């Protein structure tokens, strides 16, 4: 009998440990995935300065940026504890689908293609499309996309590379870059003449690289042709998780474009410049 009791207790203890190691809808921990390499949306730093949050799978590193600020706001409103996981851009959607993370807050456009794989809360930002070039470049005076020419690139898996660059008749499109920092470095080092990105990324870029300038064709007939879904930035969650969608949208719905822009300006102001 004592042996049987010991076996039962061992099984119960094992089940308890397994339960503690798995996520449930009741654990009140929101696990958020992001690149932590996409300033001013998100980046990694070595201290908790300016409200940075530890990166759970990269000991000694902390995440900060617009996405972290928004994640904190959502968690505070819902009484959740925030956990940040650093993931490659291409692995964010699969991680949401498998439940490795609860959501991705990572500057993702709310495209129809992505919406086949995940549900979206938001938008939590409206991001217009721009180009960036050297301030000393002849391209710096361009007032429309048809005035651009030469070599260019953008980040892999984005509408900037897949949709916008092909709209430039004179574009000599080079291989896509794996990350936003790599895209910016390609421009800064002269590997390309210009890049295509969104306004927040461009604003962060000219803080880090003062020799760059933004080409904003908004309001021009010669601007990029994009749909709302491509410039509306959302939070991806697992298909059918209506409870999480509702909780997030309750926080986001009252916010205006001015609210988003003010928060983004704060992120740009504190982003690392080295």
| pLDDT, tens only, 121-130 | 999 999 999 9
Same domain? For 119 and 250 the reply is yes
For residue 20, being part of any structural domain is answered with no
DSSP 175: P
The tokens of 30 are what? 């929101």
Same domain? For 114 and 250 the reply is yes
Provide the number of structural domains found in the chain. 2
Same domain? For 240 and 112 the reply is yes
What are the tens digits of pLDDT across the range 159-211? 999 999 999 999 999 999 999 999 999 999 999 999 999 999 999 999 989 99
Residue 127's φ and ψ, nearest 5 degrees, are -120, 105
For residue 49, being part of any structural domain is answered with yes
For residue 72, being part of any structural domain is answered with yes
pLDDT at 274: 64
Same domain? For 103 and 235 the reply is yes
For residue 224, being part of any structural domain is answered with no
User: Domain span at residue 195?
Assistant: 129-217
Same domain? For 193 and 146 the reply is yes
What are the tens digits of pLDDT across the range 31-64? 999 999 999 999 999 999 999 999 999 999 999 9
For residue 71, being part of any structural domain is answered with yes
Q: What is the CATH number of the domain that holds 245?
A: 3.40.190.10
- Give the residue carrying structure tokens 């995440």: 63
Whole-angstrom distance, CA of residue 205 vs CA of residue 176: 18
C-alpha count within 13 angstroms, C-beta hemisphere, residue 257:
6
For residue 51, being part of any structural domain is answered with yes
Look at residue 116 and tell me whether its pLDDT is greater than 90.
Answer: yes
Same domain? For 100 and 162 the reply is no
For residue 158, being part of any structural domain is answered with yes
Q: Which residues are CB-neighbours of 5 under 8 A, at least 6 positions away? A: none
Same domain? For 38 and 115 the reply is yes
For residue 11, being part of any structural domain is answered with no
Look at residue 5 and tell me whether its pLDDT is greater than 70.
Answer: no
Whole-angstrom distance, CA of residue 26 vs CA of residue 30: 10
């Amino acid at each position: 009998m004592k042996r049987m009791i010991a076996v039962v207790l061992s099984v119960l203890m094992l089940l308890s440990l397994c339960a503690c190691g798995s996520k449930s809808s009741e654990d009140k921990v929101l696990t958020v995935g992001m690149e932590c390499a996409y300033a001013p949306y998100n980046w990694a730093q070595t201290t908790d300065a300016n409200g940075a949050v530890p990166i759970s799978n990269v000991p000694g590193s902390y995440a900060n940026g617009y996405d972290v600020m928004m994640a904190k706001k959502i968690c505070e409103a819902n009484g959740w504890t925030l956990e940040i996981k650093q993931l490659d851009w291409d692995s964010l959607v699969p991680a949401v689908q498998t439940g490795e993370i609860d959501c991705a807050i990572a500057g993702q456009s709310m495209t129809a293609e992505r919406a086949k794989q995940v549900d979206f809360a938001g938008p939590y930002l409206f991001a217009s499309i721009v180009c960036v070039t050297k301030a000393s470049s002849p391209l710096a005076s361009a007032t429309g996309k048809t005035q651009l020419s030469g070599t260019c690139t953008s980040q892999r898996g984005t509408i900037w590379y897949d949709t916008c660059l092909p709209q430039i008749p004179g574009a000599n499109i080079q291989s896509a870059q794996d990350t936003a920092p790599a895209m910016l470095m390609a421009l800064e080092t002269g590997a390309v003449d210009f890049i295509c990105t969104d306004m927040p990324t461009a604003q962060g870029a000219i803080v880090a690289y003062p020799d760059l300038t933004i080409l904003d064709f908004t309001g021009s007939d010669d601007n990029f042709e994009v749909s709302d879904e491509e410039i509306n930035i959302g939070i991806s969650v697992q298909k059918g998780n209506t409870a999480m969608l509702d909780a997030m949208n309750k926080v986001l719905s009252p916010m205006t474009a001015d609210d988003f822009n003010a928060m983004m300006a704060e992120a740009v102001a504190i982003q690392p410049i080295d």
